[in-house]
Amino acid sequence: MTGPAEVRCALMRGGTSKGAYFLAGDLPDDPAARDDLLLRIMGSPDPRQIDGLGGAHPLTSKVAVVSASADPDADVDYLFLQVAVERPEVNDRQNCGNILAGVGPFAVERGLVAPADGETSVRIRMLNTGERAVATFPTPGGRVDYTGDAEISGVPGTAAPVVIEFPAADVPLLPTGNVRDTVAGTEVTCVDNGMPTVLIPAAALGVSGYEPPGDLEEDLALADRLRDIRLAAGKLMGLGDVEHATVPKLTLLAPPRSGGAVTTRTFIPVRCHTSIGVLGAASVAAGLRLPGGVGEGIAVLPEHGDRVRIEHPTGFLDIDTDVDPRGPKVRRTAVVRTARKIFDGTVFPRAAASARPEGGNDGSAPR
């Protein structure tokens, strides 16, 4: 596959992730050709992604594809693509709530949505799952303003707030129909409030839940347990064979240490997240509010209000979640994120394999 020699692209930080944002019309229509092009743009497969935009980590190897929506209830469509770092894989089986934070500003920057003078709200349809979100952000004078006083853990400095509200979804909050399941010999709660997530008491896996992400990644016995749980839970949640998928996420729960509701360590799926994804946190927050879930006796929920503070390795994330336990169903979910445009211009993808000259350096060793 060849594809264009250059592509218009914006690199943006969305929440605690970073990714390349494209208009759908600037990429090939054929998914296989599109994915091949994105692998070459991001520099995959390569552990350093040295020849592309990727940052050698799943959190910085992400792509948003945005287009005007034909749906009368949405302004734009957003397709999230996770580009693997060390494998030639592009995955579209999940949403990303952090990259979502940049979709509204990007849509205004590209002229897909006319901004208001003051603040602009963009209705977003997430094509990965069909779910919806509304992002509201400052646009003084009709221009996106990325500066502000909002601060989120895991990101240096401050920026303008992007308030993201998620309408109640039609998917079951409990995909298995149970508030607790025994999966691979471990009691868990399987929940989906925007992201299929398996909640697991950290102590049940022989860890505290306070370990640094790197230490957890190096625990081979833990990795084996998590793999068994994920594969079994995937089938139980109706996701089928998840051997090569990035869902469901696995979140270990431990009592809070810094005034929040719970401490978390989340795997995506084998790397331990240095923070937590927005939609993953939304699922955790909803799961904690379910009577009889595995979070009981671990989480310390606030006595009043909908806000749940989720502690993670680099700080916390606040989620407003209103759950009706009789359904159970979620009535409202909202979160404050920030986003920043890093550059806007043209990216030049690595040449396709078929376009490389014969006898050239294959990159296997420096010369």
Peptide bond into 328 cis (omega under 30): yes
Give residue 116's pLDDT band: very low, low, confident or very high (50, 70, 90). Answer: very high
**pLDDT tens digits for 204-214?**
999 999 999 99
Peptide bond into 269 cis (omega under 30): yes
> What does the block give as tokens for 311?
């502690």
> What does the block give as tokens for 205?
């896996």
**pLDDT tens digits for 136-158?**
999 999 999 999 999 999 899 99
Alpha-carbon distance of 307 to 226, in angstroms, equals 29
For residue 160, which of 141, 176, 139 has the smallest C-alpha distance?
Answer: 139
Q: Are 232 and 183 in contact (CB under 8 A)?
A: yes
End-to-end CA distance of the chain: 27
Report the percent of the chain where pLDDT is more than 70. 96
pLDDT value at 235 more than 80: yes
Helices (H) and strands (E) in the chain, counts: 6, 16
DSSP strands (E only) in 202-349: 249-254, 262-267, 307-312, 315-324, 329-347
DSSP strands (E only) in the chain: 7-14, 17-23, 62-68, 76-83, 90-91, 118-126, 131-139, 161-166, 181-183, 186-192, 196-201, 249-254, 262-267, 307-312, 315-324, 329-347
Alpha-carbon distance of 78 to 81, in angstroms, equals 10
Alpha-carbon distance of 348 to 56, in angstroms, equals 18
The three-state secondary structure class of 259 is coil
Spatial neighbors of 365 by CB under 8 A, at least 6 apart, are none
* Partners of residue 13 on adjacent β-strands: 18, 340
DSSP state of 169: P
In degrees, rounded to 5, the angle at the alpha carbon of residue 48 between the alpha carbons of residues 45 and 53 is 80
* Partners of residue 182 on adjacent β-strands: 187
Question: Per-domain residue ranges for the chain?
Answer: 7-168+339-347, 181-327
> Residue 1: its pLDDT value, please?
57
Alpha-carbon distance of 151 to 315, in angstroms, equals 11
Alpha-carbon distance of 241 to 233, in angstroms, equals 10
The three-state secondary structure class of 24 is helix
> Residue 366: its pLDDT value, please?
42
**pLDDT tens digits for 255-271?**
999 999 999 999 988 89
**pLDDT tens digits for 267-323?**
988 899 999 999 999 999 999 999 999 999 999 999 888 889 999 999 999 999 999
CATH number assigned to the domain covering 7-168+339-347: 3.10.310.10
* Phi and psi angles of residue 118, each rounded to the nearest 5 degrees, phi first: 135, -75
pLDDT value at 333 more than 60: yes
Alpha-carbon distance of 176 to 231, in angstroms, equals 14
* Domain range 181-327, CATH architecture: Roll (3.10)
CA 356 to chain centre: 34
**pLDDT tens digits for 61-105?**
999 999 999 999 999 999 999 999 999 999 998 899 999 999 999
For residue 54, which of 111, 249, 63 has the smallest C-alpha distance?
Answer: 63
**pLDDT tens digits for 152-185?**
998 999 999 999 999 877 789 999 999 999 999 9
Alpha-carbon distance of 102 to 54, in angstroms, equals 17
> Residue 152: its pLDDT value, please?
92
Q: Do domains 7-168+339-347 and 181-327 have the same CATH topology?
A: yes
